[in-house]
Amino acid sequence: MDWFLLGASMVRSRSILWFYDSGIYYSYVYTCILSFIEFKKNNSTNSQYTRKKYLTTFISITVLIFIIVSSVILSNKYKNTYDKLTRVVPVETIPRNYILTLENIHIENNSVGQDFELEAVIDHKETTLFNGSQIILDGAYTTSFIRFQLQAIEKDSIPEVGLIDEEFTIQKMMMDGQFYLQVFVEENRGCYTGNVATVKFYFDIKREVESSEVWSHIFN
Cα dist from 182 to 78, 114, 123, 133, 165, whole Å: 36, 18, 17, 18, 11
Query: What is the radius of gyration, based on Cα positions, of the chain?
Result: 28
pLDDT tens series, the chain, 220 aa? 444 444 445 444 444 444 444 455 555 566 666 666 665 665 555 566 566 776 777 788 778 888 887 788 888 888 888 888 888 777 667 788 999 999 999 999 888 877 889 999 999 888 888 888 999 998 888 889 999 999 999 888 888 899 999 999 998 998 877 899 999 999 888 787 888 999 999 999 998 888 878 888 887 7
Give the per-residue pLDDT at 14: 43
The confidence score (pLDDT) of residue 41 equals 61
The Cα 74–Cα 68 span in angstroms is 10
pLDDT on residue 115: 85
pLDDT at site 213: 81
DSSP 89-101: ---SSS-EEEEEE
- What's residue 17's pLDDT? 44
Cβ–Cβ contacts within 10 Å for residue 123, how many? 19
The predicted pLDDT at position 16 comes to 46
The dihedral sign for the CA sequence 48, 49, 55, 56: positive
Helices (H), 42-189: 48-86, 170-176
pLDDT computed for residue 25 by the predictor = 54
**pTM of the predicted structure, to 2 decimals:** 0.65
